[in-house]
């Protein structure tokens, strides 16, 4: 029993880590640009597929570094060509745009890499279990969680200690004032969108090593990420972090008791938060209205 619980706790930690990376990217874009990026799951898949294509040439480690950057570049192009045209319009247009984009990206991935699942090979070192007793904890799982922790810390440090990061945070708070102070808000939003896509691409590479690749691999992560953002509190990245971990853990622990309710418990948390604390667990008053 202890093993079962431990197994599900590590599972929850890993699922939660994916939710966190995905939701942080979504949250960054949502906070600064007021755009819900429906295609975020497809940027995730794109990151994974790029790693699959690059790893024969660059090796796993090279692909791990390069493919999130490439994903960010593609995100940058998408923002420049399409998304930025609708910033000043009714939010319905940004939803429709990214929604259509998600359809196109999914079909393109299917066209290029085929509809069937593909595996992403891991270095031998990572594929080993840590000890024979805890056979389910491979080094890869430890590695994944470490990477997620490092990148989340890196993101928060970036937002706190660099000039661009401070501008992004200031823009989240009051974009008009930031623009008045002479900062190029258009470029700031483009850069921010690219950072969000980079996080998606990184989670894509990590997820590919764990669950393999398929064209709609991001779909299952998208909805929980939305919920993580709402539960944590829109406007707060720390909230998104906790929200993602919370629902990941809750879903995994429910699996121990009653597997078919693991999806339902996420929604139960969502309803409870909307009912009891509408601003979200860490959110500030007024951010959501």
Q: Which residues bind other proteins (CB under 8 A)?
A: 30, 34-36, 82, 85-86, 89-97, 99-104, 106-108, 110-111, 223, 226-227, 229-230, 234, 260, 263-264, 267, 270-271, 274-275, 278, 288-289
CA–CA separation, 274 and 230 (whole Å)? 8
195, 28 contact by CB (below 8 A): yes
Nearer to other proteins, 181 or 264 (CB): 264
71, 204 contact by CB (below 8 A): yes
Nearer to other proteins, 69 or 82 (CB): 82
CA–CA separation, 165 and 279 (whole Å)? 24
Two structure tokens written together for 92: 């319905």
Least separation in angstroms between residue 229's CB and other proteins is 7
Least separation in angstroms between residue 280's CB and other proteins is 10
195 C-beta neighbours (distance < 10 Å), count: 24
Residue 153 CB-half CA count within 13 A: 6
Residue 129 bridge partners (DSSP)? 138
Least separation in angstroms between residue 8's CB and other proteins is 19
Least separation in angstroms between residue 227's CB and other proteins is 5
Least separation in angstroms between residue 23's CB and other proteins is 12
Least separation in angstroms between residue 230's CB and other proteins is 6
Sign of the dihedral through C-alpha 92, 93, 98, 101? positive
53, 117 contact by CB (below 8 A): no
Nearer to other proteins, 99 or 135 (CB): 99
Nearer to other proteins, 49 or 226 (CB): 226
Nearer to other proteins, 146 or 220 (CB): 220
CA–CA separation, 150 and 155 (whole Å)? 9
Identify the helix (H) or strand (E) that includes residue 138: none
Nearer to other proteins, 59 or 100 (CB): 100
CA–CA separation, 129 and 135 (whole Å)? 5
């Amino acid at each position: 029993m202890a093993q079962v619980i431990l197994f599900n706790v590590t599972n929850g930690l890993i699922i939660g880590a994916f939710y966190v990376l995905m939701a942080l990217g979504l949250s960054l874009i949502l906070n600064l640009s007021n755009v819900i990026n429906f295609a975020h799951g497809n940027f995730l898949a794109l990151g994974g597929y790029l790693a699959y294509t690059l790893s024969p040439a660059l090796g796993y480690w090279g692909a791990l570094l390069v493919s999130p950057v490439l994903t960010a570049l593609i995100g940058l192009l998408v923002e420049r060509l399409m998304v930025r045209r609708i910033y000043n319009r009714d939010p319905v247009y940004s939803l429709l745009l990214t929604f259509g984009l998600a359809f196109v990206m999914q079909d393109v991935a299917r066209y290029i890499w085929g509809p069937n699942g593909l595996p992403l090979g891991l270095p031998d070192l990572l594929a080993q279990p840590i000890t024979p007793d805890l056979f389910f904890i491979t080094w890869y799982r430890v590695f994944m969680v470490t990477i997620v922790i490092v990148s989340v810390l890196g993101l928060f440090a970036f937002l706190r200690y660099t000039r661009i990061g401070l501008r992004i945070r200031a823009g989240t708070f009051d974009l008009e004032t930031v623009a008045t102070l002479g900062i190029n808000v258009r470029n700031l939003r483009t850069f921010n969108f690219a950072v969000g896509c980079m996080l998606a691409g990184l989670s894509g590479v990590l997820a590919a090593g764990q669950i393999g690749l398929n064209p709609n691999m991001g779909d299952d992560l998208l909805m929980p990420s939305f919920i993580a953002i709402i539960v944590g509190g829109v406007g707060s990245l720390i909230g998104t972090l906790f929200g993602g971990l919370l629902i990941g853990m809750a879903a995994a622990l429910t699996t121990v008791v009653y597997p078919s309710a693991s999806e339902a418990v996420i929604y139960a948390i969502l309803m409870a938060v909307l009912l009891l604390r509408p601003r979200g667990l860490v959110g500030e008053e007024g951010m959501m209205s």
